[in-house]
Structure 1
Amino acid sequence: MYLDYELSIAVRDRIYVESESLHEMVPTRHGELRRKRMLFQTVPSRQTSGDISVEYNNLKRGANPQFTCLKFQSVLSQMESRLPKRTAAEKHILNMSHVVARQLQKVLFLDPIPHDMRDYVPRTSVELVPSASNLSAVLAKIVQDEPAIKEVILRYLRQLPDQEILDLDFVDTPLGDVMLTVLEKSGEQTYWIDARGLSDGTLRTLAVMAALLSEEEDSLVVIEEVDNGLHPSKARTILSLLMELSSQRNIHLLVTTHNPALLNAIQGREAAGVVVCYRHPEKGDSRFVSLVDLDEYLRIASHERIGDAMESGQIARAVRGQVPQTHRDALEWLKSL
């Protein structure tokens, strides 16, 4: 099943849906999923109107039927109450809308707040919240269900602090609360440190691991400034963690960073996953472009690491199209070959 859902939001004096559509990919005569079939799409409306018309595909000849939705919330969220459910085609559209809605509900916007992780939490709080304040309970559940996972967590944890980490455990209270604790070794001494004594970087890394180990397969995890609180020398460690765990559990991962050290740690084909966000110089809105799609990418990559190119302004100039004429001529020559 392949679905293509698009939503455009206008932000003016009010916020409203500008356009919204859902298409499904259907097989061609040769069995390839290359043809898009519209399930529903909005009809252009007056900006001042509080409603928006939606046409849908009833698989019949003639004009598509329409229904009306409120303009100030997504059509997807109104399908259950607005779309007729008489025919098989209408029921199919509703079912596909439910599929998209369920997928969107799986998205976790993770913004770990170390201060909130340094306390006891109920052991029953096992669904990771965006701030990761219930980290201890989530990790306790993961380790309880799959004891072998503890070694995976420890393997990455041992690469972060200066002290050697020997073990990971949990302290319970009579009231059913739990707190994470780790066994550290310093010289010849060993001692347990609970979440209150762990560094911000360690707690944030544990929160990332908890997300990648607890979210459902095929879900999306979004992490803002993934390397906050970590020493630049650990950039490759966090990248390896992200790629290994997301690949093993089939988790879609979107992370943001402004850290040149993390970008410099990107190797080879990993650059294909880097997207540059920039503000359009004329319209003022945010745009996204794949790093490897920039005309200047190959030249930049042959001279600098990605983080260095960001610091020197090479990537910003490439995004704005500020390319020396000699480079433009060379690129046109290459394209003509």
Structure 2
Amino acid sequence: MIKELRLKNWKSFADATLYIDPLTLLIGTNASGKSNALDALLFLHRLASGGYIFDAINGNGDTKLQALRGGIEWVCLKPHRQFTLEVLADGVEANQDCRYVLTVQVNQLNVELIAESLTLLTYESVGGLLPKEKDIFRYNSKDGGGGNNLCLLSSFASIPSLDGILTLNLGSALSLNQTKTFFEKDALVNINYVLAQLKQIFIFDPIPSHIRDDSPLSKKLNTDGSNIAGVLAALEPSRKEEVEATLTNYFKSLPESDIKRVWAETIGRFNSDAMLYCEEGWGEAASHEIDARGMSDGSLRYLAIVTALLTREKGSLLVIEEVDNGLHPSRAHLLLEMLRTLGKERGVDVIVTTHNPALLDAAGGKMLPFITVAHRDGKTGVSQLIQLEDVNQLPKLMASGSLGKLSTEGRIEAALKREDAQ
């Protein structure tokens, strides 16, 4: 699992670290940097999936890949022309981590890989503090080459090994330089392990209007949730029954009606498409079926989020902005408990952003270590990521009201501004 993401001169950040827990709440005012931090995760996912660095930033019309917010012009903190992203992720062994670092130069309409490295950190014991470091690979354009627009991590993993040793001529394979790099077989295991963790980042933005239509059968959930019916209907029968039962169980408490069942089934002459349905009742009245076209926006978003958690692979990182959009404040605690419980059961880490005071109230004191505040420094304007429990005045603030109240009144932000001024 990914544990930390460090941002250096990335968008509005000068140097900040996002700590990732099983459930991470990212809060902050508008334009504080929340989306900028999450864009870094999307960028890393695109690179791990084999894309070019330029395309991962600026999009690609041929593949319908959309640009990151702001595109290449705003990917670096002004006036800098380089950014660095650093990821701390699990290693293959329990007492190991891997540190991946990428530095990119942005030159108007092109990019250049400046440096890239993967380092294995081995601790004497699980949870140890001083690891032994071993380079798996390290590249610096100052040593030769330049102009490369490829991510080495994904490039190395795609080249087959010979007799347990991989020999790579960087000059011919990646147009970098004329040296040769040798990888032991266990190094390739670590490269692929880190790569897999980056590939499993899933930025999810369910759009209710897209979910209302029928969708083709599919094994992979779309980022807008438009094909949740197709994903559910395509599951193996026993797995489908299990997933739909869990989906129903978590959905029961959301609306006022009595939900009997939620499911998807194929439609049409060729049974290649599917529609989402639910059966609801009211008291003693006979129950009736409705399809996705008759469901509320909040219901569809909630069902999409539950579906994502139930169908993501173990070890995934699920990222959802404005997770509570469309939900009544009285249901915030149900959403939070669902994210916490299902994420743990499925082995999926979750990062969500929210402006909802009801969700913060539902989080309460137990979630304090897992809440990060995005904040613009009052002197420099750069974005910061601050653990809520590290706010110096937090104990005094908590004594005067709930987290939701503090957020609504802007008192957390005011406290951070006072700390900036000191």
Distance 2:145 2:343 in 1: 40
Q: Secondary structure at the match of 2:325?
A: coil
Distance 1:31 1:314 in 2: 36
Distance 2:299 2:403 in 1: 26
Question: Which has more radius of gyration?
Answer: 1
**Is 1:127 aligned to 2:247, yes or no?**
no
Q: Secondary structure at the match of 2:338?
A: helix
Structure 1 pair 224–172 and aligned structure 2 pair: CA distance change class (3 A): same
Q: CA deviation at 1:26?
A: 1.7
Determine the structure 2 residue equivalent to 1:49. none
Whichever residue aligns with residue 266 of structure 1, its letter is: A
TM alignment of 1:229-244, pairs within 5 A: 229-244=326-341
Distance 1:100 1:307 in 2: 37
**Is 1:3 aligned to 2:80, yes or no?**
no
Contact 2:374–2:385 (CA<8 Å) still a contact in 1? yes
Determine the structure 1 residue equivalent to 2:205. 111
Structure 1 pair 216–285 and aligned structure 2 pair: CA distance change class (3 A): same
Q: CA deviation at 1:16?
A: 5.6
Whichever residue aligns with residue 367 of structure 2, its letter is: E
Instruction: Give % identity.
Output: 32
Unpaired segments ≥5 residues, structure 2: 1-90, 92-96, 160-172
Q: Secondary structure at the match of 2:120?
A: strand
Distance 2:147 2:420 in 1: 46
Count of matched residue positions in the alignment of Structure 1 and Structure 2 = 303
Structure 1 pair 42–301 and aligned structure 2 pair: CA distance change class (3 A): farther
Distance 1:8 1:264 in 2: 39
Contact 1:142–1:213 (CA<8 Å) still a contact in 2? no
**Is 1:23 aligned to 2:119, yes or no?**
yes
Q: CA deviation at 1:189?
A: 2.9
Note the alpha carbon deviations across 1:178-237, whole angstroms, 9 max, x for none.
Answer: 101101112413110001111111111111111111111011111111100000110000
For residue 310 of structure 1, the aligned residue among 407, 411, 417 is: 407
Q: CA deviation at 1:120?
A: 1.4
For residue 290 of structure 2, the aligned residue among 190, 193, 211 is: 193
Determine the structure 2 residue equivalent to 1:76. 153
TM alignment of 1:1-337, pairs within 5 A: 1=91, 2-7=97-102, 13=108, 20-28=116-124, 32=128, 34-35=130-131, 36-41=133-138, 43=140, 52-53=141-142, 68=145, 70=147, 72-79=149-156, 81-82=173-174, 87-89=182-184, 92-123=186-217, 125-142=218-235, 144-146=237-239, 147-173=241-267, 174-176=269-271, 177-187=273-283, 188-322=285-419
Q: CA deviation at 1:93?
A: 4.3
Contact 2:264–2:274 (CA<8 Å) still a contact in 1? yes
Q: CA deviation at 1:119?
A: 1.3
Structure 1 pair 324–130 and aligned structure 2 pair: CA distance change class (3 A): closer
Structure 1 pair 140–285 and aligned structure 2 pair: CA distance change class (3 A): farther
Q: Secondary structure at the match of 1:207?
A: helix
**68-77 or 253-262: bigger deviation:** 68-77
Structure 1 pair 224–10 and aligned structure 2 pair: CA distance change class (3 A): farther
**261-270 or 251-260: bigger deviation:** 261-270
Contact 2:208–2:300 (CA<8 Å) still a contact in 1? yes
Q: Secondary structure at the match of 1:228?
A: coil
Structure 1 pair 243–29 and aligned structure 2 pair: CA distance change class (3 A): closer
Determine the structure 2 residue equivalent to 1:62. none
Task: State the 4+ residue runs in structure 1 displaced beyond 6 angstroms.
Answer: none
Whichever residue aligns with residue 395 of structure 2, its letter is: L
TM-score of the two chains, using structure 2 as the length reference: 0.64
Q: Secondary structure at the match of 1:172?
A: strand
Q: CA deviation at 1:69?
A: 5.0
Q: CA deviation at 1:127?
A: 0.9
Q: CA deviation at 1:311?
A: 1.5
Q: CA deviation at 1:324?
A: 10
Distance 1:232 1:143 in 2: 36
RCO comparison, higher one (Cα < 8 Å, 6+): 2
TM-score of the two chains, using structure 1 as the length reference: 0.79
Distance 2:117 2:263 in 1: 48
Note the alpha carbon deviations across 1:28-84, whole angstroms, 9 max, x for none.
Answer: 4999573133334454xxxxxxxx34xxxxxxxxxxxx5645455544344454487
Q: Secondary structure at the match of 1:265?
A: helix
Contact 1:25–1:33 (CA<8 Å) still a contact in 2? no
Distance 2:360 2:213 in 1: 33
Contact 1:24–1:39 (CA<8 Å) still a contact in 2? yes
Unpaired segments ≥5 residues, structure 1: 44-51, 54-65, 326-337
Determine the structure 2 residue equivalent to 1:328. none
Distance 1:323 1:299 in 2: 18
Distance 1:310 1:322 in 2: 17
Distance 2:296 2:231 in 1: 19
Whichever residue aligns with residue 208 of structure 1, its letter is: I
Distance 1:96 1:263 in 2: 38
Distance 2:383 2:116 in 1: 19
Contact 2:112–2:147 (CA<8 Å) still a contact in 1? no
Alpha carbon RMSD of aligned pairs, Å?
2.9
Q: CA deviation at 1:20?
A: 4.0
Contact 1:317–1:323 (CA<8 Å) still a contact in 2? no
Structure 1 pair 263–6 and aligned structure 2 pair: CA distance change class (3 A): farther
